[in-house]
Amino acid sequence: MSRVTVQTLESAPEAARPFLENALKANGYLPNLLGVLANAPAALETYLTVSALNGKAELSLAEREVVQLTAATIHGCSFCVAGHTAIGLNKARLPQDVVEALRVGTELPDEKLETLAAFAREVIATRGNVSDDTYQAFQAAGYSQGNALEVILGISLATLCNFVNVFAQTSLNAELEKYQWQSSAQ
């Protein structure tokens, strides 16, 4: 059970309802994360705005999902790991072995995606103070300076939703149950 009320379309503050209506249309269900964020309409709008901007990145959907899963596992966000597992497998078409490696925190079987995940892990661990070696490896893998900033954008998005879900103890939607994940640190 969530620590913070999971608002519905009917119970949410008026300012949050248009955002929830759009999410319901887009997803076919209302993710509990959005129901939690609806308690603070500005937080909900921020999450949706940053999510839309992240979607405009040059990084592919698969690459953006690597960043999201990397951050969610590091931050211990069970809700986000489940949600991004679903997106990674079903929309981004990431291979099962890549998703599984992301979920358990082992080296990815795809060298370029591993370089991306390693860069994201170091950005989080050092709060952006990535070593020259890691940055050079990132660029040698074909990623640009702009892509480095897009990874940081993705991490900022992940940090907002990961921290909200961990704080709120957001319950998992039934639609995400088969993608359940629990941090080994819990």
Write down the H helix ranges in 9-55.
17-27, 32-37, 41-54
| pLDDT at residue 149 is higher than 90 | yes
Tell me the pLDDT tens digit for each residue of 69-116.
999 999 999 999 999 999 999 999 999 999 999 999 999 999 999 999
pLDDT for residue 185: 63
Q: What is the CATH number of domain 61-163?
A: 1.20.1290.10
| pLDDT at residue 134 is higher than 70 | yes
Q: How confident is the model at residue 1 (pLDDT cuts 50, 70, 90)?
A: confident
Q: How confident is the model at residue 183 (pLDDT cuts 50, 70, 90)?
A: confident
Q: Which long-range contacts (CB under 8 A, 24 or more apart) does 53-56 make?
A: 53/153, 54/150, 54/153, 54/154, 54/157
CA 43 to chain centre: 16
Percent of the chain at pLDDT exceeding 90: 96
d(CA 20, CA 26): 10
Q: How confident is the model at residue 146 (pLDDT cuts 50, 70, 90)?
A: very high
Boundaries of every domain in the chain? 61-163
Number of H helices, E strands in the chain: 9, 0
Q: Which residue shows structure tokens 């069970």?
A: 78
| pLDDT at residue 186 is higher than 60 | no
- The mean pLDDT of the chain is 97
Averaged pLDDT, 173-182: 96
| pLDDT at residue 150 is higher than 80 | yes
Whether residue 71 contacts residue 152, with contact meaning beta carbons closer than 8 Å, is answered with: no
| pLDDT at residue 64 is higher than 70 | yes
Tell me the pLDDT tens digit for each residue of 17-36.
999 999 999 999 999 999 99
